[in-house]
């Protein structure tokens, strides 16, 4: 198949970025003497950043696409997000350039998309770019026919490259439109074929032997020295580490457990973790977790709290507790608005003291600064945080980064743990005070339902293992924000919220993660309203997202019609896929409600992806968590009686990832709790698929039944 030269010309860089703190500095749009384009009416901080570009940007909507058809113009679809460093670079080089803007305005309809607001649009054009180039990333720049079918794409382009693309594509479409249309036809067919779900009609035996084979196939890609996956860049991937931790315990794999704990230790000590203010950056560019891409994303920190909570529950390691508390302090201080909702991210870029916009400027240090701030303990400080020639970054700057355990450091310098705690606390306080004088990176203050649900789950998991009531209060407050602001009377969810407005219909990820969060809230509060709402959201999902032919869920509902195809998200990336989360939700609700249909659908979904799991198990980590529910013992634990809450709290002191918790302090109509209440005693029932062992009143005895 011959493809016009311009259709294979591409320059790809996969580069990402992010966001802020205490005095929240949000993105401010300033009219620089230029007229505003249509984006001035949007709420997305990323779109508003482009509102005064000379490019005549439109937002993604039916009107923009209809205009392209009416004028028979190709469409530039440029996708990014507020915390993306290279998105800002391309804006400065190309989209603020008058001559390039004139070229775009004359020959194209140009549409700007916030990938976090419109993951549905991003998925489609990311697939197209990956099919064309084998690569992907942001900024994502696609050129499509007036009907939205893609014909060209890439990521970051220099000014000269972008100019060449615009000229050649517009000329080709004017002179030989049939070639462009034919290529769009073939590419769109390829995209639809790529997304086809192969229905597995054969029974799959989910057993420990098969699961062991999958994990053993995965193991060679693990970095047993520095943690995580081998190679760079280095992403935390919480769902992978959560699965590996659970698998290691349930299958007595000490080496794998050691790998997970080493990963957690290296990340918490690394430059990826803000050693002064807490919270994790998106990833590091090196293998040692040292040099981060400095953006801080809500979804990373939410999931990492859940991961460290599971590790603390298992090991009781106080260092994990410290990381949980510091990360949640960061989230509460920098990413939480007054009504309990959570902002999306904090930018990587901010200004230096000379006014230069620089990635990481807020977080990096010079030796002169450190010697002024730390003063007499400077040698201790340098040793603790690796301030030395070997760890120097750009322009003689340093990123705080630990490689020694506290035990080794104490032995080297003859200190006690109390001495070190006082020193580190004082160092952080002084550094934080100094840093407050710097210009803060901006906050993307839009609210996304799915990411907020992940943070609710993080707070619930932290409360579960630490017992801090303020964590539960924050989780409930955010959940109430979703039920009052994002939940409609017809049972549907909005995806976004900003400045009092919710404008985008929810995607399957919003339903999946909200259901998961509400189930988690029920498990720690025994308040059945959360389980009822989770059940209602699942019913809505079954009606509007479920594909009976494939047995999977579309990413977009049947109410959304302006896309060239409906995607089905199954691969677990840094956020678990909507289908894997929904499958686990169905598994749990099937148990709570004695709903065999839900249970069958969940198992069918897992069967559908089983062949793909065998090919790349690391890309299906959350699916493998569901696999564990079938291959290893899985228990229902129902606690009924006036002291049910106390028994639940006792149960949470154990690491028991293979149980479903239900409880009630009075009579309950919940199928799993029916006819179990006794006013005189609180009984704990340990059951497997409805078949129960003798009820006990002592939590320790119940745990003994689980561990036999």
**Of the residues 155, 170, 194, the one at which a domain ends:** 194
Same domain? 42 vs 125: yes
pLDDT score, position 190: 83
Whole-angstrom distance between the N-terminal and C-terminal Cα of the chain? Answer: 62
> Is 567 in the same domain as 699?
no
| 650 and 592 both lie in a single domain | no
pLDDT (tens digit per residue) in 315-366:
999 999 999 999 999 999 999 999 999 999 999 999 988 888 899 999 999 9
Which position has the higher pLDDT, 572 or 3? 572
Per-residue pLDDT tens for 325-335?
A: 999 999 999 99
333 within a domain of the structure (yes/no): no
Q: Residue 413 falls within a domain, yes or no? A: yes
Q: Is residue 317 part of a domain?
A: no
3-class DSSP assignment, residue 660: strand
Spatial contact of 671 and 592, defined as CB atoms under 8 Å apart: yes
Domain count, the chain: 4
Give the separation between CA 239 and CA 285, rounded to whole angstroms. Answer: 20
Q: What is the pLDDT of residue 22?
A: 41
Shared-domain flag, residues 163 and 16 = yes
Q: For the chain, give the mean pLDDT.
A: 92
Q: In what order do the strands lie in the sheet with 58-59?
A: 58-59, 108-114, 74-80, 140-144, 150-154
Q: What's the CA gap between 513 and 315, in Å, rounded? A: 27
What is the pTM for the complete model shown? 0.92
Q: DSSP 3-state assignment of 283? A: strand
Instruction: Single out the residue in 176, 194, 212 at which a domain terminates.
Output: 194
Q: Is the pLDDT at 578 greater than 70, yes or no?
A: yes
Domain annotation covers residue 298: no
- The answer on 135 and 30 residing in a single domain is yes
CATH code of residue 486: 1.50.10.20
Same domain, 431 and 482: no
In this structure, the answer to whether residues 400 and 476 fall within a common structural domain is no
Are 147 and 80 in the same domain?
Answer: yes
Residue-range definition of the domain harbouring residue 514: 464-629
Query: Do residues 478 and 608 both lie within one domain?
Result: yes
Instruction: Label residue 520 by pLDDT band (50, 70, 90).
Output: very high
494 and 545 assigned to the same domain? yes
682/490 Cα distance (integer angstroms): 38
CA quadruple 251, 256, 262, 268: dihedral sign = negative
């Amino acid at each position: 198949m011959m493809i016009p030269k311009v259709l294979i010309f591409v320059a790809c860089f996969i580069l990402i970025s992010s966001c802020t703190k205490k005095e929240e500095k949000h993105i401010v749009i300033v009219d620089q003497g230029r007229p505003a384009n249509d984006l001035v009416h949007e709420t997305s901080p990323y779109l508003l950043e482009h509102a005064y570009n000379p490019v005549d940007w439109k937002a993604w909507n039916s009107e923009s696409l209809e205009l392209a058809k009416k004028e028979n113009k190709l469409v530039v679809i440029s996708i990014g997000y507020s915390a993306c460093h290279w998105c800002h670079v391309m804006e400065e080089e190309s989209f603020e350039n008058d001559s390039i803007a004139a070229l775009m305005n004359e020959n194209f309809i140009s549409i700007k998309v916030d990938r976090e607001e419109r993951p549905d649009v991003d998925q489609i054009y990311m697939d197209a770019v990956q099919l064309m180039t084998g690569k992907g990333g942001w900024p994502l720049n696609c050129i499509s026919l007036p009907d939205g079918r893609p014909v060209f794409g890439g990521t970051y382009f220099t000014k000269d490259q972008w100019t060449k693309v615009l000229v050649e594509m517009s000329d080709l479409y004017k002179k030989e439109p049939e070639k462009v249309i034919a290529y769009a036809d073939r590419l769109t067919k390829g995209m639809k074929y790529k997304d086809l779900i192969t229905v597995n009609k054969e029974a799959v035996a989910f057993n420990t032997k098969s699961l062991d084979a999958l994990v053993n196939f995965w193991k060679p890609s693990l970095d047993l020295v520095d943690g995580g996956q081998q190679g760079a860049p280095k992403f935390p991937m919480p769902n992978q580490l959560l699965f590996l931790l659970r698998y290691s315990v349930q299958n007595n794999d000490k080496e794998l457990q050691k790998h997970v704990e080493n990963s957690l230790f290296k990340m918490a000590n690394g430059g990826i973790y803000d050693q002064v203010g807490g919270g994790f950056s998106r990833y590091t560019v090196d293998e040692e977790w040292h040099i981060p891409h400095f953006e801080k994303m809500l979804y990373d920190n939410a999931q990492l709290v859940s991961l460290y909570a599971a590790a603390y529950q298992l090991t009781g390691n106080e260092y994990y507790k410290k990381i949980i508390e510091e990360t949640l302090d960061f989230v509460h201080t920098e990413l939480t608005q007054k009504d309990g909702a959570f902002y999306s991210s904090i930018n990587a870029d901010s200004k230096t003291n000379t006014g230069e916009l620089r990635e990481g400027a807020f977080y990096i240090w010079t030796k002169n600064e450190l010697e002024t701030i730390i003063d007499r303990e400077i040698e201790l400080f340098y040793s603790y945080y690796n301030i030395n020639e070997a760890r120097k970054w750009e322009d003689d700057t340093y990123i705080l980064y630990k490689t020694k355990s506290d035990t080794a450091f104490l032995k080297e310098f003859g200190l006690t743990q109390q001495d070190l705690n006082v020193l580190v606390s004082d160092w952080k306080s002084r550094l934080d005070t100094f840093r407050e004088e710097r210009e803060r990176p901006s906050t993307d203050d839009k609210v996304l339902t799915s990411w907020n649900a992940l943070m609710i789950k993080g707070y619930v998991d932290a409360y579960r293992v630490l017992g801090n009531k303020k964590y539960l209060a924050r989780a409930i407050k955010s959940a109430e924000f979703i039920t009052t602001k994002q939940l409609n009377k017809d049972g549907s969810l909005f995806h976004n919220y900003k400045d009092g407005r919710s404008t985008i219909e929810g995607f399957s990820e919003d339903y999946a993660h909200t259901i998961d969060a509400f189930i988690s809230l029920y498990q720690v509060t025994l308040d059945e309203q959360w389980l009822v709402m989770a059940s209602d959201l699942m019913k809505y999902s079954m009606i509007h997202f479920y594909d009976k032919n494939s047995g999977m869920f579309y990413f977009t509902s049947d109410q959304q019609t302006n896309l060239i195809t409906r995607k089905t998200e199954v691969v677990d990336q840094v956020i678990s896929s909507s289908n894997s989360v929904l499958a686990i939700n169905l598994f749990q609700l099937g148990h709570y409600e004695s709903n065999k249909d839900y249970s069958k659908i969940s198992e069918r979904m897992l069967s559908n992806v089983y062949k793909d799991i065998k090919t790349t198990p690391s890309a299906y980590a959350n699916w493998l968590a569901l696999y564990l529910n079938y291959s290893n013992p899985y228990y229902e634990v129902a606690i009924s009686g006036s002291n049910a809450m106390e028994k639940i709290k006792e149960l949470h002191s154990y690491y028991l990832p293979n149980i479903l918790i239900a409880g009630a302090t009075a009579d309950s109509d919940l199928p799993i709790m029916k006819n179990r209440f006794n006013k005189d005693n609180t009984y704990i029932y340990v059951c497997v698929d409805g078949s129960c062992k003798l009820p006990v009143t002592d939590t320790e005895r119940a745990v003994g039944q689980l561990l036999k």
